[in-house]
A and B are shown apart, each in its own frame.
Chain A
Amino acid sequence: MTLKELKPGQSARIESVDARQPGVVRLMVLGLIEGVEVQYQNSAIGGDPMELSVFGTAISVRKQQADCFKVAPLLSNV
């Protein structure tokens, strides 16, 4: 499962990142790395880009890049 498939409100832990895909390094610099928990907050119309929160910071991620992050969903209040 990748970040792209999360539903609004759902949380997940990042398991692996494909850093070689274009535009991914910039997201890693903002803190999206392995082991970190993220929550899908909102999106723009059409679901793209997505707004994810990491340690309380909202980061906007396009679906194309979101697909490069493998995640394990966390059981929580969806």
Chain B
Amino acid sequence: MSEATTAYVKVDSIGIRHRARRAVAVIGNPNSGKSTLFNRLTGLRQTTGNYPGVTVEKHSGIAQLQHSALELVDLPGIYCLGGFSTDEQIAVDVILGRIEGTHRPDGLLFVLDATHLYQGLYLLQQLMEMRIPVVIAMTMTDVATSSGIDISIEVLQRHLGGMPVVPVIAKTGRGLDNLKEALERFDEAEIPADPESWPELSQTADELAAAAGGTIPRIDVIQALLHPESETLDNVRLALGPERLSEARDRLFGAEPPQACEARHRYTWVRGVLRESQRQAPLLDRFGAKALRWFNRPWPATLMFFAVMALVFQAVFSWAAPLMEGIDAAATGLSGWIGSHLPEGALSSFITDGVIAGVGSVLVFLPQILILFLFIIILEDSGFLARAAFLMDRVMRGVGLSGQSVIPMLSSFACAVPAIMATRVIPNRRDRIATILAAPFMTCSARLPVYALLIAAFVPEQDVGWFNLQGLVLLGLYLLGILGGLITAFLLKRSALRGPKPHFALALPEFRWPNPQTVSIKLLDRARVFLRRAGTVIFAVAVLVWALAFFPRSESVQQESFVAKAQAEETLQGEALAEALQRIENEAAAEQLSQSLLGRAGQFVEPVFRPLGWDWRVSAAVIAGFPAREVVVAVMGTIYAVGAEAEEASLAGKLRSATWPDGRTVFTLPMVLGLLIFYAWCLQCAATIAVIRRETNSWRWPIFAWTYMTVLGYSGAFLVYQLGSLV
């Protein structure tokens, strides 16, 4: 998403003092403060790219230490190396250097949440068996202290075979210097011995690895023992023979699932360690905790969830208004100034009608999009989205999915691309694909400009009870998207993706105030992505559309309007004359536009969209929007700036006054509603198609999604327009 982050690398701060930079992978449980710590250590020196040859995103950054620099590679937050989900598979593959073209990391930075040692120490045991150096950063020590948890680091360290354990408070940066020092010397650290939790497993692994004659890494043997179904470990099966493995499994696990045995052994050990190293004082029921528990009761929590979502949508619409008006006024002012300083003609039209009207009309939505992203990022960071998953599990069960699909779907309100990547936590492939195909239905920030434009133009600004009518219509469109997504998931789970009902096991993070640095880094990243798109793709499309709409200029039209003007000047005077001149000019502009290349192409496809009530201009704009839907607004901005409605200052006004050649209004209520439905359901986003291809690893699903959503959008618009026009 954010390869542009490299633009922020300060060359002098990368630390060129060391030639070969060592790489350390950062790993820990979800919500352990891992990304806050990662941001603390790397600052803005981060990049997101792809691992060569594979479809996994690599998020890494440079940590400048006292004498050297380290490459830190951020891994997804996980609870175990179980291979349940794609995220877990990624973590294992990166740590073991199984991804082609990359090196195994030289060490691990394990982020251990002091308030959740129980689950943290479980994952840590599995990592200790990887036999690479580990430095442990213990986060949330301040929260632990304030909730009465007293941890003895020395005792803990003794149980962990002397691995360095450094307490840090990522929020304030306390302990960060100690951590950097430990990282500086991490390769001096001894490779941890296996934890004492399961000597039989360690012993069996040693024996089998020896039997394979050193051709198989010991960790692969352990993984093969614990995951009989894993395909990546066929080499172990080949080297040892399946009988030998299954015999060892019988001895170790009996008739139980291997991972159940693993959990029993490892957690028994964890509890022993905790008994000695952690003293939990009785929790004082502080006011905050009590209030939160009250709010987490079924009905208050569910009502809160809907209230928060409603607030977000209201805020997106009303808070952004003054900023948007400001940007709009600046664009109009600039355009007017240029228009009055340049001679009339192609150049002036190019700058005002092409560049400013096109790019400006998209840029106007930057405030709305940023406010939306701000909310989603805060909801995600505070743990709210996980709560929503919990509350909505029942609903999702109804369509054959689980609460785990809720998080990607909610973050899809911002953008489907990261949301689709967030489906990696879903263990079952079928459920994951169903979620991936439902996510693009959620109203993303790029649909917002189209909705906002049409709503502002055609829905009266009035209050209905506590709410604003425009806000309510917007809410309705969001619901329409949700409905489309849920029905899609339901149908898929009944047909192509039929499978066992998914389970739902999720650790719920407690409410946490979001970290300003994390939030601002993410928000800045989104702003940059948006501006880059406005500056490249949207700019290019706007210019292209302007050229297609401006050329060729018809001499005869020019001539006719000249004659007509001269006639008017002879016969009329004063206001009547001005009006007539304006009318003649408008008619000429409309005539020029319909004779332009764009006009001819639009008229060519118009029959396809005629049943939806779209004239050729709307049709052309919609087609131009297939690579990126927000382009539509830019295209409309340009088309209507060139055409007869040019004298209306705002694009909304231009749309309102657009007519068919016979004088009927184009944007009637049924047509506008149909257009909105088309936008709610259509997959007009090349980036989403690309990410579906990447995440499902086939062309089948993106092609299916595109066709299905386009047909659905067209049919919806058709029905609404046709039925609406009957009334």
Report B-chain residues with C-beta under 8 Å of the C-beta of A48: 393-394
Q: How far is the CA of A41 from the CA of B292 in the complex (A)?
A: 12
- Select one of A17, A31, A58 contacting B510, CB under 8 A: A58
Binary interface encoding of chain A residues 22-37 relative to chain B, with 1 for a CB under 8 A from any of its CBs, else 0 = 1111111111011110
B390 near A29 with CB under 8 A, answer no
Docked complex Cα distance between A15 and B80 (Å): 24
| B257 close to A60 (CB less than 8 A) | no
A24 to B262, CA, bound (A): 13
B503 close to A22 (CB less than 8 A): yes
Q: Chain B residues near A44 (CB, 8 Å)?
A: 298, 301-302, 390-394
Chain A residues with CB below 8 A from B298, complex form: 42-47
**Among B118, B149, B257, B504, which residue has its beta carbon within 8 angstroms of that of A57?**
B118
Q: Does A54 contact B (CB under 8 A)?
A: yes
Given contacts A36-B267, A62-B393, contact A19 B260 (CB under 8 A): yes
Report the interface size class on chain A.
35 or more
Q: Is B263 an interface residue (CB 8 A)?
A: yes
Q: When the two chains form their complex, are residues A29 and B506 in contact, meaning their CB atoms are under 8 A apart?
A: no
A32-78 interface with B by 8 A CB criterion:
33-36, 41-49, 51, 54-62, 65
**Contact pick for A30, options B79, B403, B427, CB 8 Å:** B79
Complex Cα distance A33/B296, Å? 25
Contact B296 A57 (CB under 8 A): no
Q: How far is the CA of A61 from the CA of B84 in the complex (A)?
A: 17
- Contact status B256-A62, CB under 8 Å: no
Contacts of A60 in B (CB 8 A): 389-390, 393, 403, 504-508
Q: Which residues of B contact A49 (CB under 8 A)?
A: 390, 393-394, 403, 504
State how many angstroms separate the Cβ of A55 from the closest Cβ of chain B: 4
Contacts of B84 in A (CB 8 A): 26, 29
Q: For the side of the interface on B, what is the size category?
A: 35 or more
B264 an interface residue at 8 Å Cβ cutoff? yes
**Which residues of chain A come closer than 8 Å to B122, judged between CB atoms?**
29, 31
B305-341 interface mask toward A, CB cutoff 8 Å, 1 = contact, 0 = none? Answer: 0000000000000000000000000000000000000
Give me the 7 closest cross-chain CB pairs, A-B, nearest first.
A23-B503, A19-B260, A55-B118, A28-B263, A58-B508, A26-B505, A45-B298
- Alpha-carbon distance between A42 and B72 when the two chains are bound, in angstroms: 39
Interface residues of B in 385-425 (CB under 8 A from A): 389-394, 403
Chain B 274-303 interface residues, beta-carbon cutoff 8 Å to A: 274, 280, 293, 296-299, 301-302
Contacts of B115 in A (CB 8 A): 56
Closest residue of chain A to B506 (Cβ to Cβ) is A60
A30 to B264, CA, bound (A): 11
CB <8 Å contact, B296 and A51: yes
Shortest distance from the beta carbon of B85 to any chain A beta carbon, whole Å: 10
Q: Is the CB of B391 within 8 A of A57?
A: no
With A44-B394, A54-B118, A57-B118 as known contacts, state yes or no: A33 contacts B268, CB within 8 Å. Answer: yes
Q: Which residues of B contact A57 (CB under 8 A)?
A: 116, 118-119, 507
Contact of B505 among A33, A43, A55, A61 (CB under 8 A): A61
A28 to B270, CA, bound (A): 13
- Which chain B residues numbered 117 to 156 have a C-beta less than 8 Å away from chain A? 117-119, 122, 147, 149
CA–CA, A66 to B268, complex, Å? 21
Could you show 25 A-B contacts with beta carbons less than 8 Å apart? A20-B257, A22-B503, A24-B260, A25-B257, A25-B259, A29-B79, A29-B80, A29-B259, A30-B505, A31-B267, A41-B296, A43-B298, A44-B298, A45-B298, A45-B302, A46-B298, A48-B393, A51-B296, A55-B117, A56-B149, A56-B280, A58-B510, A59-B505, A59-B506, A62-B393
CB within 8 Å of A: which of B14-72?
A: none
Measured CA separation A25–B391 after assembly (Å): 22
* Known A19-B256, A26-B505, A56-B115; contact A42-B296, beta-carbon cutoff 8 A: yes
Chain B's closest residue to A62 (CB) is B504
Q: Check if A45 sits within 8 Å of B299, measured CB to CB.
A: yes
B103 within 8 A of A: no
Asked if B500 is an interface residue, CB under 8 A from chain A, the answer is yes
**Per a CB cutoff under 8 Å, which of B82, B118, B264 touches A56?**
B118
- Please give the distance in Å from B593's CB to the nearest CB on chain A: 56
State the CA gap A25–B115 with chains docked (Å): 23
Set of chain B residues within 8 Å of A28, measured between Cβ atoms? 259-260, 263-264, 267
B494 contacts chain A at the CB level, 8 A cutoff: no
- List the B side residues contacting A42 at CB < 8 Å: 293, 296-298, 301
* Interface core residue of B267, B280, B296, B509 (most chain A CB under 10 Å): B267
Q: Supply 5 further A-B pairs (C-beta < 8 A) apart from A56-B116, A60-B505.
A: A20-B257, A41-B296, A57-B119, A58-B510, A59-B508
When distances are taken between beta carbons in the complex, the residues of chain A under 8 Å from B391 are: 44-45
8 Å CB contact of A41 from B117, B149, B268, B293? B293
Contacts of A59 in B (CB 8 A): 505-508
Asked if B158 is an interface residue, CB under 8 A from chain A, the answer is no
Given contacts A45-B299, A51-B508, A61-B505, contact A33 B116 (CB under 8 A): no
Closest to A49 in B: B393
Residues of chain A within 8 A (CB-CB) of B532 are none
User: Which residue of chain B has its CB nearest to the CB of A27?
Assistant: B505
Cα A42 to Cα B298 with chains together (Å): 7
- Bound state CA distance, A20 and B296, in angstroms? 32
* B116 / chain A contacts, CB cutoff of 8 Å: 55-57
From A17, A25, A31, A41, give the contact of B119 (CB < 8 A): A31
Q: Name the one of B263, B267, B280, B392 contacting A25, with C-beta atoms under 8 angstroms.
A: B263
- Bound complex: CA A29 to CA B427 (Å): 14
Q: Is B528 an interface residue (CB 8 A)?
A: no
Q: Say yes or no for B174: interface residue by CB 8 A criterion.
A: no
B512 within 8 A of A: no
